[in-house]
Structure 1
Amino acid sequence: MEAKPTEGIRVVCEYPDVFPDELPCMPPDREIEFLIELLPGTAPIAKRQYRVAPKEQGLIKENIDELLGKGSFVDKKDGTRRMCVDYRALNDVTIKNKYPLPRIDDLFDRLQGACVFSKIDLRFVHPIFQRLAFITVFGLYEYTKMSFGLTNAPAYFMNLMNKVFMEYLDKFVVVFIDDILIYSKTEEEHEEHLSFAKPRDHKLYAKLSKCEFWLDQVPFLGHIVSKGGIMVDPKEDRRCHGLEGAEVVREILRRFIESFSRIAKPMTSLLEKGVPFHWTKERQAAFDELKKRLTTAPVLTLPDLTKSFTVYCDASKEGLGCVLMQEGKVIAYASRRLRKHEVNYPTHDPELAAIVHAPKIRRHYLFGNKCEIYTDHKSLKYIFTQNELNMRQRRWLELIKDYDWRYITIRGKLMW
């Protein structure tokens, strides 16, 4: 299914004021006030203006009324440029808003069973009249609405979006800051859902050129989402290939890479206390292998909590690993290195630790659902009936006893 032309989308035609070419001069008041609270004793911040090229001065002059920048230019996705104010000094003395952002994995889980998607990109529009003055070659200016680069802007906007779309969350809308994804199981449902989720009621505005409607797969938060599951966005693949040095794959991408901890071991060892930072050939090779695995990562299915799960667990001298599956399809990989004290465990303890690892990180899937656990260590099936157990084993068995699991032993060659 290809995205429908925006001219033919009913919600676009019926609510053109939601997709204006130009934002209103003064944004409306919101139910949540955006305040910039400073640390006690903070002195007023004064900065000299940045020096800019003559060509950039012309751009500042042309855009000063709508973008209001400080001479620091950023390339936009459409090839044009926008001006940004350097608010690092202000951010350093601002009391941080602790409102939590949602876990991206949880957002994806809500999309299970969805087949039709529309994505709306909102614009930050909020009145603000404090502490946002900045200087340019043409004089001193001050924002009258929220600017890019403020440390508390994401937390504030996330709070506002949750209040605005509260009745639709977990039903057919997921929100991450200014990205809204509307999802449905059928086209008929999607038509209704688009008409329900109206930003107009709250005087929110979207950029039509960044909105996409009626898709069977959609790029969202660095991934491609479809009815088949989620996969890494090819754009993220290219970005990963462009990385240099010690930057590592983001935590959210661990679930796509089998044996992540084993491959990443040369790099993660740099995090240990007292280890000097030296970027060796071995670490570069590990980094290159992670990039390669990322660009060939599989499509992961989204979990159906009405069905049972399968978990394959294994351990080695270096680490633990497990694969969460459903109906033969991978939902997520998980792995970690053995800690120093765990290296000396007897053989069956790391194998049991691999089983315990699964509910520790995927409890939200496994608790209350039937699950088959596959392991290649035969002695584990007897450990549940033994009386002579050490405290560590008793603690682990206590942790997993509340799960509705069936343990199956298979040969190691059949594990992967």
Structure 2
Amino acid sequence: NTSPHSDPAEVSQLQAALAYQSEMLAGYQEQLMQLKSANDSLTQYIRSLPAPHSTPPDAYDQDTKKCAVMMSLLTGRALDWASAVWESDSGMRSSFDHFLAQLHEVFEYPEGGQDISDQLLDLKQGDRTAADFAIEFRTLAAQSKWNEVALKAVFKRGLNSKLQAELACKTVDSSLNELITIAIKIDNLMRNTPRTRRFVSANLVPSQSQPDTPKPMQIASTHISSEERDRRQRENRCYYCGEENHRNATCPHKTKKNPTLRYSVSTIELPNPKQRSFLLECELSVDTAIQCVSALVDSGSAVNVINQELTDKLKIRTSPCVPTINITTIDNGTIGSGITATTQPITLHIGLFHKETITFHVVPSCKYQVILGHPWLAVHDPSISWNRGELTKWSTYCLNNCLTKTRTYPCLSTSVESPENQVQTPLPKVYSEFAEVFSKSKATQLPPHRPWDCAIELLPNMSPPKSKVYPLSRPETLAMETYIEEALASGYIRPSTSPAAAGFFFVEKKDGGLRPCIDYRGLNNVTVKYRYPLPLVPSALEQLREARIYSKLDLRSAYNLIRIREGDEWKTAFLTTRGHYEYLVMPYGLANSPSVFQSFINEIFRDLLNKCVIAYIDDILIYSPDLNQHIKDVKTVLARLQQHQLYAKLEKCEFHISKTTFLGYIVSHHGVEMDKSKTQAVTEWPLPKTVKELQRFLGFANSYHRFIRNYSSIAAPLTSLLRNKPTKLRWNPAAVRAFEGLKASFTTAPILKHPDPQLPFVVEVDASDCGIGAVLSQRHGSPGKLHPCAFFSRKLTAAERNYDVGNKELLSMKAALEEWRHWLEGSTHPFQIITDHKNLEYIKGAKRMNPRQARWSLFFTRFNFSVTFRPGSKNLKADALSRRHDIDQGEQTVVPILPPSVVVAQISWDLMEEIQRAQQDEPTPPECPPNRQYVPQALRLRTLQWIHTSLGSGHPGIHRTTTL
């Protein structure tokens, strides 16, 4: 529809532009047919259109043309409206922005007549999970312009009443994100709380139809009926207490000679059934039993009361109440025989977080199983909405004494981190400006993309395999749902349509919780490995020689602080029984995760590494020579963490200490020693029964080999058990002695001094028939006592065992210099090598050397050292490195002189194979002559016949036959 006043040339140019865009516009016709008048539909539709002023450059050079293109995309009522606007020749034809504004004004109105504010105010959680409610709330909140205070109030208002009551226990000054995270966690905990208990909760309020006789005492009773009065008169019972053989005037319960306490524990029951008493859902914990009860909150009760029947059921221990407490009614009358017993302290849970220890007074018969009276209200001083019948807030006393610990249930922990320490480490005031670095809520937010995002490069022509869905038990299913909801709420994962799918399962943690694991073995097999090196821990610890004060930081959710490279998220997809998801952050289990994170950390602290910082993945050690410098170093590190949005666990950090544990070692200014907890684990290690168990033990022990003076020789019999990849261990006495000796060595390991390049080194070397060893030492103090800095030892190879004594000693010297080359080459002072082989004193001046010695001599010229002879009886430290156990000859490798290609055929006898098989049942006896083949009894006749009839032997005669 064009105006008759339109320029024909302009119309022709417009038609050409429309033809150019015909294919692109065709794709929007289907969307156009589905266009609604709702806000979302119109907004999404306009956003999906291409920018008419951007492509092609010269197609939309005027607003009139843009409006014409937009009109061509409209149908129905929208087209009718646009045509009318065009025909009216209004100003909208010449302003595309005005045209869009009018389109929004006419067709954009909220669905159901509600705008964003109304939808936010009407949003309710209902039966949904808090995670689902939070997603819808965040969507609407993002479209509103409300401030955070208003959004927090609306969010709490939309939660269901039970969750609001639990949130009252956690009323702290938190951000909106923290509030949503806490609500989701509490909601998950409430939904996953085990419902089964040892005892089934009984009916707390008896029905109205109950027998009149015998009638139990009710706290609310203030008079007796006319029928009851007539019955007591006929049976000669007291009108007051109902007992026999006395009258009301002489009732011993009304007048006592002994002093008694008169406490009111009565309540008034209103006839209107709509008037409800205020009840709290509670749990009583007695030993291993848990009883669910509804406790009446009654400010008119002077004591806290429990029913005698419940006390007997739970077998609660009681003690006499002295003096007896009378039960009085509102009119000051006395009921029954009073309270004569009190319970021992009982654990009382209210909700998920409130926990206390309380003592009750036992009442013989009570309408309610538990009554929380004025003493309880006075102590806890809760805020109660009597109109809604809800407890809205706990007091400051409860926040400090009753709400400090969250209740835990087995198999509900799904954290990938280790359990947090109970003792919170205080943050020194000097670092208060960096409190954000220790924020737990910020650590759970989705991190930004960085240049160090985790890339997942696949091998050529390979794709991630699809794994199976692992079946989960009921507790694991609950834990999985909790983990998925929390990860979705934090943005760590999202629903996936990826063709890849790794398995999802749990492993049990030490604290009884469950650690989620993704089976990325298939993905790792087809991933290009990132070979970024991890720090060498022993070399890193050598940098601590001048340190006197330390601080240690442990990063929170380290791997989750790195994003997956954009476009690679689909490769991390995993399957659960709930659905298909993929990670936006770097998960645990990827082959390149340690290298990627280490490269990120090294780039952040590049100028500080080996100067005042050692960083091993998520463990950071800061060291300094004095306190003033240390504070500056720690501030620099915290500032870097804050700048790059990395966060630490305050409960696992240490500040300003002179001795600490780092990566399994105890470091101080005295030196490095093994962690006592590790050595205790080794000393309690049982004798391995399988090959895997022995490999696990040797792997752990090998990490501390630099502390053990004779490690390689001690472990030689154990490593011999693993030769030729056995399927079963065959222990021998030497191996058992080696196992016990190695465990004992962990308890006697010395403290290794930090090497000081300003002091001269001493290297003690020695060799034996099975191994070589060396000790690196320095003299400290006065008169200069030698202290070990490191130990080195290893077994000799089969070829090295053939060396003569001189070459073995020379080999031990060469191996020691190679091991500590970074300290000895170019050292400030000439170092001394001590050996028990006298000929090595002349190695530098030897005129005749074999080729091997000549090669090694070139290597020795790089060092400035002198060789000193010490007899073996005095060279005990190095000598012990190779003489702890007997020589392990091992299996000799047979090398044929002629290659197999020149052999025509290998000669073998079938009879010889039968003899060898028969010897398994009848082995060679000890009296058999040496160098003779023993033939079992069953094959002797056949053997003689074979030899006698053989064409190659014939009959040698009687004497030779007898000799055979």
Shared fold (TM-score greater than 0.5)? Answer: yes
**Offset, 1:329:** 0.9
Letter in structure 2 aligned against 1:392: R
Give the corresponding residue for 1:111. 544
Deviations 1:219-258 (A, max 9, x none): 1111111111111112322443447332214444221111
Deviations 1:41-90 (A, max 9, x none): 224432222122212222222232345793313416x6644322221221
Choose between structure 1 and 2 for higher RCO, CA contacts under 8 A separated by at least 6 residues: 1
1:258 pairs, out of 699, 709, 716, with 709
- SS of 2:476's partner is helix
Structure 1 residue 158 and structure 2 residue 606: aligned? no
Give the corresponding residue for 1:38. 458
Give the corresponding residue for 1:317. 769
Q: Calculate the aligned-residue CA RMSD, in Å.
A: 2.3
- The 1:305–1:341 alpha-carbon spacing in structure 2 relative to 1, beyond 3 Å, is same
Structure 1 residue 287 and structure 2 residue 739: aligned? yes
2:752 pairs, out of 279, 300, 322, with 300
Is 1:270–1:277's contact at 8 Å kept on the other side of the alignment? no
Is 1:57–1:71's contact at 8 Å kept on the other side of the alignment? no
Letter in structure 1 aligned against 2:517: C
**Offset, 1:283:** 2.9
Structure 1 residue 395 and structure 2 residue 855: aligned? yes
- Give the Cα–Cα distance (whole angstroms) in 2 for the partners of residues 253 and 239 of structure 1: 13
1:89 pairs, out of 505, 522, 528, with 522
295-304 or 157-166, larger mean C-alpha shift? 295-304
- The 1:145–1:357 alpha-carbon spacing in structure 2 relative to 1, beyond 3 Å, is same
Give the corresponding residue for 1:28. 448
- The 1:392–1:117 alpha-carbon spacing in structure 2 relative to 1, beyond 3 Å, is same
Give the corresponding residue for 1:230. 672
Give the corresponding residue for 2:473. 53
Deviations 1:86-113 (A, max 9, x none): 2122112211111111211111111112
Deviations 1:125-159 (A, max 9, x none): 12223322222222222222111111100000011
Is 2:553–2:648's contact at 8 Å kept on the other side of the alignment? yes
**Offset, 1:414:** 1.7
Structure 1 residue 246 and structure 2 residue 688: aligned? no
- Give the Cα–Cα distance (whole angstroms) in 2 for the partners of residues 119 and 279 of structure 1: 45
Structure 1 residue 374 and structure 2 residue 834: aligned? yes
Is 1:313–1:323's contact at 8 Å kept on the other side of the alignment? yes
Give the corresponding residue for 2:147. none
Deviations 1:153-206 (A, max 9, x none): 000001101100011112100111111110111112111111111210111111
Letter in structure 1 aligned against 2:832: E
Give the corresponding residue for 2:617. 177
270-279 or 91-100, larger mean C-alpha shift? 270-279
Structure 1 residue 72 and structure 2 residue 506: aligned? yes
- The 1:386–1:277 alpha-carbon spacing in structure 2 relative to 1, beyond 3 Å, is farther
Is 2:721–2:730's contact at 8 Å kept on the other side of the alignment? no
Letter in structure 1 aligned against 2:656: W
Is 1:105–1:252's contact at 8 Å kept on the other side of the alignment? no
Is 2:452–2:600's contact at 8 Å kept on the other side of the alignment? yes
Is 2:775–2:792's contact at 8 Å kept on the other side of the alignment? yes
Structure 1 residue 361 and structure 2 residue 819: aligned? yes
- SS of 2:813's partner is helix
- Give the Cα–Cα distance (whole angstroms) in 2 for the partners of residues 141 and 383 of structure 1: 68
- Give the Cα–Cα distance (whole angstroms) in 2 for the partners of residues 225 and 284 of structure 1: 32
1:412 pairs, out of 872, 884, 888, with 872
Structure 1 residue 386 and structure 2 residue 386: aligned? no
- SS of 2:439's partner is coil
- Give the Cα–Cα distance (whole angstroms) in 1 for the partners of residues 726 and 506 of structure 2: 37
- Give the Cα–Cα distance (whole angstroms) in 2 for the partners of residues 60 and 96 of structure 1: 30
**Offset, 1:262:** 1.3
**Offset, 1:325:** 0.5
Give the corresponding residue for 1:141. 581
Letter in structure 2 aligned against 1:286: A
- Give the Cα–Cα distance (whole angstroms) in 2 for the partners of residues 302 and 223 of structure 1: 13
- Give the Cα–Cα distance (whole angstroms) in 1 for the partners of residues 822 and 426 of structure 2: 42
- Give the Cα–Cα distance (whole angstroms) in 2 for the partners of residues 41 and 270 of structure 1: 42
- SS of 1:59's partner is helix
Give the corresponding residue for 2:22. none
- The 1:215–1:65 alpha-carbon spacing in structure 2 relative to 1, beyond 3 Å, is farther
37-46 or 181-190, larger mean C-alpha shift? 37-46
- Give the Cα–Cα distance (whole angstroms) in 1 for the partners of residues 537 and 563 of structure 2: 29
Larger Rg: 2
Is 2:613–2:620's contact at 8 Å kept on the other side of the alignment? yes
Q: Unaligned 5+ residue runs, structure 1?
A: none
- The 1:131–1:25 alpha-carbon spacing in structure 2 relative to 1, beyond 3 Å, is same
2:790 pairs, out of 324, 328, 332, with 332
Give the corresponding residue for 1:126. 562
- SS of 2:587's partner is coil
398-407 or 238-247, larger mean C-alpha shift? 238-247
| Identity percentage of aligned residues | 36
Is 2:463–2:526's contact at 8 Å kept on the other side of the alignment? no
Give the corresponding residue for 2:958. none
- The 1:276–1:316 alpha-carbon spacing in structure 2 relative to 1, beyond 3 Å, is farther
- Give the Cα–Cα distance (whole angstroms) in 2 for the partners of residues 213 and 139 of structure 1: 44
What is the TM-score with the length of structure 1 in the denominator?
0.92
Letter in structure 1 aligned against 2:661: P
Is 2:517–2:588's contact at 8 Å kept on the other side of the alignment? yes
**Offset, 1:276:** 8.0
Letter in structure 2 aligned against 1:262: S
- Give the Cα–Cα distance (whole angstroms) in 2 for the partners of residues 304 and 368 of structure 1: 14
**Offset, 1:271:** 6.1
**Offset, 1:300:** 0.8
What is the TM-score with the length of structure 2 in the denominator?
0.41
Give the corresponding residue for 2:807. 349
Letter in structure 2 aligned against 1:71: F
- SS of 2:793's partner is strand
- Give the Cα–Cα distance (whole angstroms) in 2 for the partners of residues 192 and 43 of structure 1: 49
- The 1:89–1:274 alpha-carbon spacing in structure 2 relative to 1, beyond 3 Å, is closer
- Give the Cα–Cα distance (whole angstroms) in 1 for the partners of residues 431 and 730 of structure 2: 52
- The 1:114–1:66 alpha-carbon spacing in structure 2 relative to 1, beyond 3 Å, is farther
- Give the Cα–Cα distance (whole angstroms) in 2 for the partners of residues 276 and 388 of structure 1: 49
134-143 or 354-363, larger mean C-alpha shift? 134-143
Is 2:464–2:526's contact at 8 Å kept on the other side of the alignment? no
- Give the Cα–Cα distance (whole angstroms) in 1 for the partners of residues 812 and 852 of structure 2: 14
Is 2:765–2:773's contact at 8 Å kept on the other side of the alignment? yes
Is 1:256–1:297's contact at 8 Å kept on the other side of the alignment? yes
Letter in structure 1 aligned against 2:854: R
- Give the Cα–Cα distance (whole angstroms) in 2 for the partners of residues 249 and 296 of structure 1: 20
Deviations 1:320-345 (A, max 9, x none): 11100011111111112222233232
Deviations 1:298-333 (A, max 9, x none): 111111112210111111122111100011111111
- Give the Cα–Cα distance (whole angstroms) in 2 for the partners of residues 106 and 280 of structure 1: 36
- SS of 1:200's partner is helix
Letter in structure 2 aligned against 1:343: R
